[in-house]
Structure 1
């Protein structure tokens, strides 16, 4: 980018600090702008008419979210909600400013296309998981991924939250976790799931 284009982006960016649980972007009701994550953790999910959630991707430090600037992509009708999973800090670049720079800069346009392709790949992967992979394998993979993200095998997470990530009812999650516990793979306590046999979970998840 030219110095002028860089100045446009940095001059228009606004820093925001949000607490865990804050809804940052709600479907197509707003066009917040492009998000650049400085710290924390965000979750992007879709919501069915019946109120069931499923996580499509998560955002960490230095990640970029384009779908929060949905008005910039008129041909894409994604009803995505973005929520802070942890206390987070991010920069918001107004959609019109980002679009103006993107129209002037081929590298920026290519970078944007790469981000879009990556996000669509994640969505397609999710669809494949839901359609073709059994729930026990999906749950095992989720627990292993969560352990990596949190840096511990003792996960402070409720069955309802797990269900929201995976698009399943809390009761279904509870039954499967109890099965995992009976098989010696996890230990359950109120608000906590502890992984006690990582190798078996990995084999179940197909890793």
Structure 2
């Protein structure tokens, strides 16, 4: 399974010899929905390549409140974990499985070695940094300039793309935590969106129209 998924998700970015090496040294792991894959202050000895599923990357404030930074999709890696590995520091993020996910974990020393010796890996990492940087700028813009109702509908649309479905199974509290606000605010805004015929609400389900 690992070979098929690696070829399918990474052959556009990584050369065949590197994919074979990843198959040899990588550790295949699976996580269930809501499992913590990487936690804050964890010492990282491996970096993840996501083969299937989705992962959300979160930051935490001093009061323990979480803020969604970005999502990972199959064929991507977490550049914030790469940064920690390169600097031999502890993780500053929490990575949580958005749904059942399969990853292959790469030892840190291989990641560093390939960066200097393999052009396809180096380009993949640099492109990943650029993508995540753009997404974090967008997250900052959302917090600074976009009203909560606009953030909410954008969040819902992104969810439909991640899950390839117009119907999202999610609790109001989970949305509130991702958007760093209260459940009451989210419930009120969802009702407003439903009245505007932009969504349809049912128990723990939201259909984006």
Asked if TM exceeds 0.5, the reply is yes
Residues 107, 62 of structure 1: CA spacing in aligned structure 2 closer, same or farther, 3 A cutoff?
Answer: closer
Deviation of 1:190 after TM superposition, in Å, equals: 2.3
Alpha-carbon separation, structure 2, partners of 1:3 and 1:158:
42
Matched residue count:
196
Gaps of 5+ in 2: 1-13
Which residue matches 2:140?
127
Which residue matches 1:167?
180
The two structures, once aligned, show a CA RMSD in angstroms of: 2.5
Deviation of 1:110 after TM superposition, in Å, equals: 3.1
Deviation of 1:61 after TM superposition, in Å, equals: 1.6
Say yes or no: does 1:37 pair with 2:50. yes
Deviation of 1:103 after TM superposition, in Å, equals: 2.0
Say yes or no: does 1:156 pair with 2:156. no
Correspondence for 2:121 among 108, 129, 134: 108
Alpha-carbon separation, structure 1, partners of 2:118 and 2:60:
35
Residues 33-72 of structure 1 mapped to structure 2, 5 A cutoff: 33-72=46-85
Deviation of 1:3 after TM superposition, in Å, equals: 8.4
Alpha-carbon separation, structure 1, partners of 2:48 and 2:148:
32
Which residue matches 2:100?
87
- Normalising by structure 1, what TM-score? 0.83
Gaps of 5+ in 1: 199-207
Deviation of 1:154 after TM superposition, in Å, equals: 2.6
Which residue matches 1:139?
152
Alpha-carbon separation, structure 1, partners of 2:78 and 2:108:
11
Deviations 1:64-108 (A, max 9, x none): 223334442329886111011111111000111111121223443
